[in-house]
Structure 1
């Protein structure tokens, strides 16, 4: 076992405070990702090199695409519709309106077009302060896991029979049996126990061989794991310590985009990590991933704000 690929490139040399949530949109050939603490949705078109930074008045933990082309964001104000072109927004649901220290973190859509995203205490890091939620098509919100401390990576296997989930402080990737029809999760078990020496598990992606790619906060890398055996089978070292998430993209979905952060790094650390917070890409990996699912709303929201 060694380096899977050591050919990282700087995709966009813009240093995010807390870069996260990369998501690829094939038909527009673009990557979006967020700077959580700055409330920015970054938009990048690799063919033309065009980059846009879209500012919003809330912290944005994750974004997904809706079937009508809009974006749904998981934020510190709940689930929010966003129109990137007009900058109009509308809150869909805010299940933690009574918890002002909490914010949403990572999230993804399942095969049925429901948005799963979890929360955390974004101010004091209080353990067990968050939950994992599922936003359904009609705007209703269900609690799926309670409590969680720092809700992070999510993935489903190829036939949508298994859901994988990371609550970062646990240092585990937990597997559940998944019922696609109703979104049920049962039979929780530890698929991967990540050693302390590897760093803390953050965002996650799954490839077409069913292997899980986890960003390792404090570990300076993305690692590939076999969830059937719990074994690490490769890694991609990066020139930054705070690696936050990864997603497959590109024409053949075999480019791996990796986000990072510079938050809480002191002057010496920043001097030693000039690329901290940048978006990285490892192009033309030996394996590809999946196109992300879109949120499927039953009716179009009136995005009038």
Structure 2
């Protein structure tokens, strides 16, 4: 069955990314990486609040009340919404000025996983990191090119990860107690003609939803069978990520980008860079907050 996504916000983001539904605030946080913008969308009022920063911002997750954790160009920061105070937590790649943080999410216990990439996508320049609840940072994966989609299985025993140029979603065994990974296998191989896998989310049935850069769609897969189950058609060329939101977690929010598109493509896909939404027949898994022990 094919769904069709509808435009919610014609934001024209250069690189819309990183949607995270905050179930406590009933808001969708999302970013425009290249625009250095953090957005907070309230579906009740249809208002999109924008905060402007002075460096690229790859991912956002809520922390303690009134706090956000931001993965940016020059490290991971704590941001106080009230005072607008930005405090550096960790900058593991200060020796790599051409790298920036990209996609990031919290595991079910509240640890923050976030990856890096070279600004020009140089092969193997990135890594995947884990920020523990006590603020300690560990490198989990090396030689990553474009660290992207992350998701945990509903039972928390598996982690899914996308390094975009591989064209694959990989499964890792996940140790919830310690937050450790061990590689299992490729779960899904995205056919080249469907674009490249970018961001990702998971539903309560354990099926993964993958955004397709260059593919105008989000697809739903059984990660254990490697079988495609559903598809969401998105009227934008570069689909970057998705997250379940809404009162019942059955609305899939989808981010898109205008980056790298020529005039003809922008004429064909004028809503590129917009925020989209589609009502689904399944419920998603709630996005996790960063739970600092400090």
TM-score by length of 1: 0.94
Structure with the bigger percentage of strand: 2
User: Pick from 40, 43, 48: which aligns with 1:46?
Assistant: 43
- CA displacement at 1:68 relative to structure 2: 3.0
Q: 2:101 matched to 1:81? A: no
Q: What is residue 28 of structure 2 aligned with on the other side? A: 31
- CA displacement at 1:85 relative to structure 2: 3.3
Q: What is residue 264 of structure 1 aligned with on the other side? A: 260
Q: 2:179 matched to 1:145? A: no
8 A Cα contact 2:66 2:81, kept in partner: no
> 2-side partners of 1:209 and 1:183: how far apart?
23
Secondary structure of residue in 2 paired with 1:73 = strand
- CA displacement at 1:9 relative to structure 2: 1.6
> 2-side partners of 1:244 and 1:256: how far apart?
13
**Structure 2 residue runs without a partner (length 5+):** none
Aligned residues: 294
Q: What is residue 302 of structure 1 aligned with on the other side? A: none
Note the 1:135-214 alignment, pairs <5 A.
Answer: 135-214=131-210
Q: 2:293 matched to 1:290? A: no
Q: What is residue 93 of structure 2 aligned with on the other side? A: 96
Secondary structure of residue in 1 paired with 2:97 = coil
8 A Cα contact 2:211 2:240, kept in partner: yes
- CA displacement at 1:268 relative to structure 2: 1.7
User: Pick from 10, 15, 19: which aligns with 1:18?
Assistant: 15
- CA displacement at 1:29 relative to structure 2: 1.4
Deviations 1:145-179 (A, max 9, x none): 11100000000001100010000000111001100
8 A Cα contact 2:154 2:285, kept in partner: no
User: Pick from 103, 106, 112: which aligns with 2:103?
Assistant: 106
**Structure 1 residue runs without a partner (length 5+):** 300-305
RMSD of equivalent CA atoms = 1.0
> 1-side partners of 2:81 and 2:271: how far apart?
27
> 1-side partners of 2:182 and 2:18: how far apart?
26
8 A Cα contact 1:106 1:152, kept in partner: yes
Q: Which shows bigger deviation, 94-103 or 263-272? A: 263-272
- CA displacement at 1:293 relative to structure 2: 1.0
Secondary structure of residue in 2 paired with 1:27 = coil
Q: What is residue 230 of structure 1 aligned with on the other side? A: 226
Runs of 4+ in 1 over 6 A off after TM superposition: none
Q: What is residue 303 of structure 1 aligned with on the other side? A: none
User: Pick from 60, 64, 83: which aligns with 1:63?
Assistant: 60
Secondary structure of residue in 1 paired with 2:24 = helix
8 A Cα contact 1:244 1:260, kept in partner: yes
> 1-side partners of 2:100 and 2:183: how far apart?
28
> 2-side partners of 1:96 and 1:275: how far apart?
35
